[in-house]
Every structure is written in structure tokens, then in C-alpha cells.
Chain A
Amino acid sequence: MAEVVGNGVQVSHSNLGYGLVLLGLLAATFAAFVGLWSGLTRRETLLPWVRGAVYTFSGSMILSNLTMIHALFFDDFSVKYVAQVGSKATPPIFKVVSLWSALEGSILFWGMILAVYLLVFTLMYRKAQGRFVQLSLGIMAAVAVFFAFLIAGPANPWTAIPNPLSDGPGPNPLLQNHPLMIIHPPMLYLGYVGMTVPFGIASGALLSGEITAAWMMPLRKWSMVPFLFLSIGIILGSWWAYAVLGWGGYWAWDPVENAALLPWIAITAFLHSTMVLERKGSLKLWTLALGLAAFVLTIVGTFMTRSGVFNSVHSFTQSEIGPTFLKFIVIIFVFSFVLLVVRGGKLQSDSPLESVASREGSILLNNLAFAALLFTVLLGTIFPLVQEALFNKRISVGEPYFNAMSMPCWILILFLMGVGPMMPWGKAEPDLVLKQLLVPGAGALVGLAASMALGARNPWAIGVYTLAGFVAMVTLRELFLPAQSRMQESKENPFTALVRSASKARRRFGGYVVHLGIVGIAVAVAASSTAKVHVSGTVKVGETLEVAGHKVRFDGLSSGSEPHRTWTGADVTVIFPGGSEAVHHGLKAPRMNFYERQTDPVGSPMVDEGALRDVYVSLMAFDSKTPSATFNAWVFPLVGWIWYAIPVLVLGSIIALWPQGRRREEREAPAKAIPQGSA
């Protein structure tokens, strides 16, 4: 792949890609130093230099990634990373996916996403005041320095191989097995890397000592972005696990899953406490600490999946980058901590808490629940390491622990999702709250009655359904009541009323839409985990396996081959209780895939998706002489609602993030308010 250019200089993928990384490292270092120094010493004239350096970093990082994609696409096995994950037989789309399928490539990809974030941030604030941009960008560029350094040194994918082989092993078969793998990691990375921006802004605010709306507004907005992508990434990841791993579950509290959940918990808590900060001027220290923690936890999570010290389904192989990551964690941890302690005095609360029975009180409780959840997940994930380091004792902390310990927190959070919006800021008047309770109370009763009628027996599940009915009604009322009053007062048609009321308070409206999605997920998780039905057995051709009224008929074995794998499937027909049939033959059948360079087969389950239930069949073994097949079959009620919630979360987040057309401050509203006591 080497080409001779001009006067005999050889340009290879390796040289070009690595050169671009070095240029990016240089530019990021310059941006970090100049940005922080000029921001702290108030030299606004240097801002164009910072911007220029950021553009250079972004440009070179993006080009370096494009070079790698080119190298992967054209099978240039003289590049170390291509030799490691590439193969000629890999289908083109998975050649691109290979970019993030192994350690070095995933760090390179991280660098590109960071470059895109920095680019967008710089372009968005090209007219903003100097100090904000200088300090925020300075911190973000410092993070970029770390990643560029990783790519240039410990995780260098660009090493040239002098005598390249003519073919490579291809990426991990698990990653080639499902189209979700194309979209899921980029979403997750957009979430992870996106945490850099709120970290930059929050650190910048603390460095400058100005905790003002000018800093808080962008901080909130930029926290929504990683929240959204991380939510999507986590849900898609669980969907992938469900659709590919074949054990009939979507969440196993695996370290890699916990690694994504930790920053999600922190940023979600942040998005709630920031409301208290904005309205009451209190919880400043706590809110900023959550914002910083979300980033630190992102790096901790990345360390977990890439250091090779955690046992996990998708952890990358043992690597050299663990110690480097650990040092970075220490640096950002100390930096955040010192910043908070030193600036703590400036973060005095403007107004005290009057009552726990208030909006701010419910948000405090929400934050407590999230904090307990965060602590549980973090503790459970690292505890085996602690036991081994201190007592040389190997223990496991698995699903039973995490389920038992996190369940009360989740229930409390769900409860507060209903109670919180009913509480006024300041102090709640009991009779007023009680008056509001009628409609949501009815919702709770419907949830309870429906769960009893459908035969739910698990007390946790019944609790979730009841609370879901309650929260759904509260949320719907918050969403539609303003529109209804507009319809009555201004005689607007329903659609106009809804759009106008929503656009007047986008964050509130968007937030409640997200809540609706979360309610859907809560119901889906409760139903699919407590009301699933599982059957396993061996059947001959023509025989059926019955699971929860659904019959799975074995129609015979089929097989096929593709360039990178051969497979054997057990063709099945699902016969529904109503008598209708769904045929799952060939590639749609539960299969075993045999990859060219892997000895163990990789199973693919068959999933017959439905709005109310999924029929899920895994092939465990087959015998071509009889012929017979051994299946694991499940019926999962409502499980699809988890993934169907993604568009709702996206819609809500987009509404919340949609730029306000005219800068109309909400302050003008109080004129319409009526005194609370007048009832």
C-alpha cells in the first residue's frame, strides 16, 4: 500500500496515520496550555490561537481515523491494527466496524469522537465571551492530550509491520454477528466522550470562580447530549446482548455494562439537581461534583473494560494501557477534588431547604437514591478486586447482589418520578397535594388492577406496575394540562395548543417525555424478568416444544456458508395461541455459526418480536443423523418496550435541547401566578 509521491518520499498508511496523531497531540497540547493560561490571566486576544489549535487537533484526528478506515478497507496488513483485526473475507461494512472492534482502534475512534465534539463546541461558541471558551476548551484539550498521547504511545495502532502477512484473523465473531454492533458502540462512545464537554465547562466554571447562568446554561445543555447518547448506547447494548448472546437476557451486571451505567447514573442525577441549582441557587457544590464525577466515572469505566483486570464478556485483551489509564484517573480525580474543595467556599447556598415535602426535597431524595445506586454498582464491580488484593481471596459479585441492592433504589426513583412533579417549590401544602392525587391515584389503581388481573404475583413487579400507572398519569397531566388550558383560554386547536405550550417550556416538556419512556422501560423490565416462561428440550423433525401457549415446531436442519463463516440452523415455525404461524428458516432460524478462525461455534438465537411478547429460541445442540435439535425456548412479555423506548427518549431529549427561537426569559411569567393560599 505504499505509494511513491513526488521526489521519492514514501507515504504509507502507517506514516500518514501516525503523523496525523502526532500533529493532533501537538495541537491539543498547545490548545490546553494557551487556553488555560489565557483564560486564567484574562487574555482574550489569544482566543483565536486556541480555536486554531482545536481545529488542527480535530482535523488531524478525523483524518487519522479516515486513514485507518482506508487501510482496513484495502487490507493493508502492514499496519499493526489491520493485521490484528482485518481479514480479506470480512464484509465491507464490518471492515469499518473493525475500527472499534479491538483495543487500539477503539481508542483511535475515541479520539475522533472527541475531535468532533471539540469542533462542534468551538463552532457553536465562536461568538461567545472569551473566558468561557478559553477555560472550557483548555480543559477539554487537556483531556484530548491524554487520548492523543495514548494513541501515539501505549495504544498505538499505527506501528508498521516490516513483513506483513497476506491475510489477518478478522474481527471478533461476536461483533460480526449482528447489525446492532454497527450502531451500538458509536452511540456508547458518543455518550462517554460527550462527558468531556460538561467536564470542561464545569471545571472551567470552578476555575473562574463564576457559577453563573452564563456557565450553567451551556453546562446543562451539554450534559443532555451525553445523557441521550449514553441512554441509547446502553439500551442498544442490552438489545445486542439479548439478540446475540442467546442466554435469554439483556442485562447481566457485567463489568462492561456497569461501566456504562455508572456515568449514566451520575449525569442523570446531575440533570435533576441542576434544576434546584437554577431555581433556588442551592446545591451548587453537589451539582458540580456530580458533573465532574460523571466524567471521572466514564474514565473509570473505560479503564474497567480496557485494563484487563476485570472479568467481562467483552473486555478487551490484556493490555499495557491499564497503568496509563490509572494515572489519568488519579490526575482527574485529584484535580476535580481539589477544585471543589478550594472553590467550595464560593458555592454557598442562596436559599435553605424549607421542607422535604417540596420539589427540591424530592429532587434531593432522587439524588440520594441515585447516589446509593451509584455506590452499589461501583462497590459491587470493584469489590472482587479489593478482596483479591487484600486477602488474595477470589469472590464473585453477581446478579443476585445487584438486583437485591439496586431494586429499592429503582423503586424509590420511580416513586419520586411521580411525587416530585406534584410538589411545589418551597413547601407543599398537604391539602393541595392531596387534591392533585386523584387522577394519578386512579392511574396507580389501574396499574395494580391490571397486574392482578394478568396474574402478576411477584411483589416487586406489582409495585412497579402500580407506580408506573401513578407516574404515567402525573406525567401525562404535566404534559397536557398546559395545552388544555390554552385551548380553553385562547380557543386554540389541540395541536397548536400542545406545540405552543411545549415550546414555551421545552426542557420541562422534553423532560416529561423522557420520563414517559422511562416508565415504559420500568414496566418492560419488570414484566420480562418476572413473567418469562422458559422451556428446554430435544425434539425430532415435526415435533413441537410448547412454551406459554406458543408452539415451536422443528422443521429440519439447514446450513449455508458465507465468505467468513459457515452455519447450521435449526429451522423452526412458531405457532401462536391463535393458530397463526411464523416461519423462521435459514438465516432467521436459531443457528450455530462457525467462523473460519474460531474453534467454538457462536450461537445466534431466533427472536420472534411482538408488541406484547417475544418468542426467543436458542439452538443448544443438533444431531444430523436423527435429525434432532435441542432448544432453549422462552416467551418474554413486553421485553420489546425497552428498545421501543429509544425513540421516546430521543424525542424528549431533542425537545429539551431544541434552541429557543427568541431569548425569552421565563422570568416574565410570575404575573400570571395566583397565591397559593387562596384555595
Chain B
Amino acid sequence: MIALSLALALVAGDYAPARQGLEPLDAQREARVMKLGKVLRCAVCQGLSIADSPASMARAQLDKVRELVAEGKTDQEVMDYFVARYGEWALLEPTTNGLNGLLWLGPVVLLVVGLLVIVSLVKKRAPGELAPQAPAAAADDPFLAQVRAELEK
């Protein structure tokens, strides 16, 4: 009932938790703001960046980025501002320090090892061995054979 009356009050009045943000900076610096906004985690959302989140707190945070960029702070200094408050949690793009290296290198290592395994799977034939029956291999694919027949007409 309390919530309902609150809702009705809001319908009658206004809902304005989201105050107007700062004016965008010039194109070049605004692009920097948006780029930084993409890698900073909104404090009140579920894993969205402050550039993506519609929450008003996220826009306040984005305004902070704007303010810091306007003051001439570097990207690192802007990120440090948020890390000082929320820890590395604030960075949607994890750093490469310490154990985090695994996060960045792991998939790359897997790709490389996988490629090596695939290459090693290719059977090296001894010189005396019969050549593979490539025509036969192709032949058990009737569609491909048909396609090829088509191409060679």
C-alpha cells in the first residue's frame, strides 16, 4: 500500500532521480570519455559499464569521467580514481597483473597448442607407402563430386 501510494504520487508528480548530466565535451575528448566509460563498471548495476547503463548513478559516474578528462587527467589517472574507491572491481577489462595474466594468456596458449596438435595429427607418410586414394576420398562425397562435375563442364 505504501509502495502503491508512492507510485501514485510519482505518477502525479515526477520521477526525476536522473538529473541532467554535464554537457558533452568536444568530439575528441568526448570520445575518450566514452571509451573510458566502456571499461568502468557501474556501481549500482549488474555488470554494465557506466557508458551503457541507464542508471542515473552511472551517468553521475560518467560525468565524473568527463570532469576528470576536462581537468586534463590521463586515462590511467581516471581509472585510478575509480580503483581508489571500488578496487579493481571497477575495471571491466581486468588488468594483466599477477594471476590475471592467466585470463589473457590461457585462451591464446590453448589456441597455439591446439594448432600444434592438429598439425601433428597430419600423418607423415613414409616414402615407400602408397599415395592416399584422393579420388576415392573425394568420391564418397557425392555432392561435392556433383558440384565439381558442374564446375568442370
Contact = CB atoms under 8 A, between A and B. Distances in A.
Direct contact of A and B (CB under 8 A): yes
Interface of A: 246-249, 252-254, 279, 311-313, 352-356, 359, 361, 364-365, 368, 371-372, 375-376, 379-380, 383, 386-387, 390-391, 393-401, 404-405, 424-427, 429, 432, 435-436, 477-478, 481-482, 484-485, 505, 508, 536, 538, 559, 565-568, 592, 594-599, 601, 603, 618, 620-625, 630, 632, 666, 669-670, 672-677, 679
Contacts of A425: 137-138, 140-141, 144
Nearest to A359: B141
Contact of B107 (A376, A391, A398, A669): A376
Interface string B1-14: 00110111011111
A622 B119 CA distance: 62
A632 B54 contact: yes
B52 interface: yes
B127 interface: no
B67 interface: no
Nearest to B124: A352
Interface residues of B, number: 74
Given A427-B132, A478-B147, 18 more contacts: A312-B46, A312-B47, A379-B107, A383-B102, A401-B93, A425-B140, A429-B134, A485-B146, A567-B11, A594-B7, A623-B14, A624-B12, A666-B142, A669-B142, A672-B142, A672-B146, A676-B135, A677-B134
10 contacts: A353-B121, A356-B119, A368-B118, A386-B99, A399-B49, A566-B8, A595-B7, A624-B12, A676-B134, A676-B139
Contacts of A394: 87-89
A341 B114 CA distance: 20
Interface string B75-105: 0000000000001111111100011101110
Of the listed residues B16, B48, B100, B139, the one surrounded by the most CB atoms of chain A closer than 10 A to its CB is B139
A61 B18 CA distance: 48
Contacts of B142: 666, 669-670, 672-673
Contact of B111 (A253, A368, A390, A478): A368
Contacts of A676: 134-135, 138-139, 148
A55 to B, nearest CB: 42
Interface string B110-138: 11001100110111000000001111111
Interface of B: 3-4, 6-8, 10-21, 38-39, 41, 46-49, 52-54, 56, 87-94, 98-100, 102-104, 106-107, 110-111, 114-115, 118-119, 121-123, 132-152
A636 to B, nearest CB: 13
Given A356-B118, A383-B103, A481 B88 contact: no
Contacts of A594: 3, 6-7, 10-11
A677 B3 contact: no
Contacts of B47: 252-254, 311-313, 396, 398
Given A390-B99, A394-B89, A538-B20, A372 B111 contact: yes
Contact of A368 (B38, B87, B98, B115): B115
A530 to B, nearest CB: 13
Main secondary structure of the interface of B (DSSP, over half): helix
Nearest to B55: A247
Given A353-B121, A365-B118, A673 B11 contact: no
Contacts of B138: 424-426, 673, 676
A393 B142 CA distance: 58
Contact of A622 (B16, B19, B54, B140): B16
Contacts of B114: 368, 371-372
A512 to B, nearest CB: 10
B52 A247 contact: yes
A108 B82 CA distance: 43
A424 B46 contact: no
Given A312-B47, A368-B118, A621-B17, A675 B135 contact: yes
Given A354-B122, A670-B139, A672-B146, A623 B4 contact: no
A531 to B, nearest CB: 15
A425 B143 CA distance: 11
A488 B119 CA distance: 42
A387 B97 CA distance: 12
B43 to A, nearest CB: 11
Nearest to B118: A364
Of the listed residues B6, B143, B145, B152, the one surrounded by the most CB atoms of chain A closer than 10 A to its CB is B143
Given A311-B46, A673-B145, A596 B137 contact: no
Contacts of A632: 54
Contacts of B111: 368, 372
* A-B pairs with lowest CB-CB distance, top 9: A426-B137, A398-B92, A594-B7, A673-B139, A669-B142, A352-B123, A400-B93, A621-B18, A368-B114
B20 to A, nearest CB: 6
A176 to B, nearest CB: 15
A9 B135 CA distance: 77
A399 B147 contact: no
Contact of B6 (A248, A435, A599): A599
Given A252-B48, A380-B103, A603-B54, A674 B93 contact: no
Contacts of B123: 352-354
Contact of B143 (A383, A387, A484, A505): A505
Contacts of B94: 383, 395-397, 401
Given A398-B49, A594-B11, A621-B56, A672 B137 contact: no
Contacts of B148: 432, 674, 676, 679
Contacts of A568: 10-11, 15
Nearest to B35: A400
Given A432-B148, A481-B146, A508-B143, A375 B107 contact: yes
Contacts of A365: 118
Nearest to B145: A673
B147 A477 contact: yes
Of the listed residues A538, A620, A625, the one surrounded by the most CB atoms of chain B closer than 10 A to its CB is A620
